[in-house]
Amino acid sequence: MRFDSGALAALFGGAVCIALSPIWVRVSEVGPTASAFWRVFLAVPLLWILFFSFKTTETKIIPPQWGAMIAAGVAFAGDLAFWHWSIKFTSVANSTLLANLASIFVTLAAWILWKQRPRALFLAGLAAALAGVGLLVRASLGSSPTALLGDGLGVVTALFYAWYLLSVKGLRDRGAATLQLMAVTSTLTAAILLPVALASGEALLPATAEGWLKLLGLAWISHAAGQGLIAHALAHLPAAFSSVGLLLQPVMAALFAWALLGESLSLPQVAGGLVVLAGIALARRGSAL
């Protein structure tokens, strides 16, 4: 099977851009919720400029589905806030791997809510992924007193991200364009996260110019560029291949954390991570969606 080389490069490039996001969060000069706010707020002007600049058959303004749009914004706000806190408490590898369980939760939701029964391959992948999570949690118990909390927040992240993916799928099915979705949901997410960040009492503004550059990297490289490249790739590549190809993201995040933060992986973590990746890959291939 031959794939569009440009779309393939966009898929992997987007995965690498997003893999940098936990690094930006870890070295940020602001709190986790504040970094989640700046991640979307600083990307909003760029996303709207792109939306109004690229006039393709897809980028058309439709009557907005405000209920679904708000649901997507709430889901994305929860996804980012819980993930950023997870990154603070556990390893980058664990938080990113556990957040990628979202695809499994999407299929489980479709099974429970819409009776879309998945294939046996999904159940095998689910069992493998859960076994891998068990290995990751066991490794966390011996690493630090906060790691288990971070792992738990990573699973909560996956639940919110699954909700976001289902919301976006519904909007896409009703004709919403990729850039329109990104611009609107990012705007709504920023509006939701700002009061939460203010109420949390955490540092909201970076103290140095370097701190602002880190937030811009998080917003423009990881959020806008990463999500944009993946959205472009998904329109030109088979869904099954794309979903498995995106598993490059947690692998690259672990490599970045090792190279840039000196965050080493224990043998149980490596084993658990590989089992989780294999489980997610199997589950995605056996998904009904």
Reported as a single tens digit per residue, the pLDDT across 76-109 is 999 999 999 999 998 888 888 888 888 778 777 7
Residue bearing tokens 């990113």 = 96
In the numeric block, which tokens belong to residue 50?
């792109």
Structure-derived torsion over alpha carbons of residues 157, 282, 165, 74, reported in degrees to the nearest 10: -10
Cβ-contact 223, 43 below 8 angstroms: yes
Per-residue pLDDT averaged across 114-125, rounded?
76
Residues 6+ apart with CB under 8 A from 168: 72, 181, 185
Note the pTM of the prediction, 2 decimals. 0.85
Cβ-contact 183, 47 below 8 angstroms: yes
Pick from 84-88, 114-118, 156-160, 217-221: least confident: 114-118
Domain count within the chain: 1
Mean residue pLDDT of the chain comes to 83
Range of the structural domain that residue 82 is part of: 5-285
Distances (CA, A) of 73 to 80, 99, 104, 266, 277: 11, 18, 21, 36, 28
Planar angle of CA 91, 220, 103, nearest 5 degrees: 50
Phi, psi of 177, rounded to the nearest 5 degrees: -85, 155
Per-residue pLDDT averaged across 234-238, rounded?
67
- In angstroms, the CA 181 to CA 110 distance is 22
Any long-range contacts for 156-159 (C-beta under 8 Å, 24+ apart)? 156/78, 156/82, 156/86, 157/79, 157/82, 157/83, 157/86, 157/95, 157/98, 157/99, 157/102, 158/98, 158/99, 158/100, 158/101, 158/102, 158/104, 158/105, 159/102, 159/105
pLDDT bracket for residue 17 (50, 70, 90): very high
Per-residue pLDDT averaged across 244-256, rounded?
81
Structure-derived torsion over alpha carbons of residues 208, 213, 215, 221, reported in degrees to the nearest 10: -170
* Predicted confidence (pLDDT) at residue 177 exceeds the cutoff of 80: no
Query: Comparing C-alpha atoms, which of 129, 30, 166, 153 is closest to residue 81?
Result: 153
* Predicted confidence (pLDDT) at residue 1 exceeds the cutoff of 60: no
Reported as a single tens digit per residue, the pLDDT across 41-85 is 999 998 888 777 765 555 454 555 778 888 989 999 999 999 999
